[in-house]
Amino acid sequence: MRYMLLSYYQKASGQIDEVVAVAKNLKHRDYQTCAVILDFKKLQVVQASLNGQIVPKDFNKIVEYYYQYHKNTINRLFAENGYEVVTEPEKEAQDNEKVDAG
């Protein structure tokens, strides 16, 4: 899979539901219905808007935000597209190993 698609729907009660999907290819309707589309092959934001407001297309910030809620999906997308995910504790351990080895 290449893309992470996020859509938001407001219920009659006022509650907002988030729908997350992954896809190999984008369809025309994805551009119309999805609030956020992330391309994990090119590491870029295809589309990002919330409540009609355009948000900055900073891939890293958007992934950081959604990572806390969709960790497994994001890790899988990075892995399937040839990228390795390094979290902060892992990064610190790797940095320490480099210092010890050097």
Give me the mean pLDDT over the 56-75 stretch.
Answer: 94
Domain count, the chain: 1
Q: Are residues 72 and 79 in contact, defined by beta-carbon separation less than 8 angstroms?
A: no
Q: Are residues 6 and 16 in contact, defined by beta-carbon separation less than 8 angstroms?
A: no
- Residue-wise pLDDT for 6-44, tens only, equals 999 999 999 999 999 999 999 999 999 999 999 999 999
Helix (H) or strand (E) holding 31: helix 28-33
| pLDDT at residue 74, rounded to an integer | 96
Its domain, for residue 97, covers: 3-101
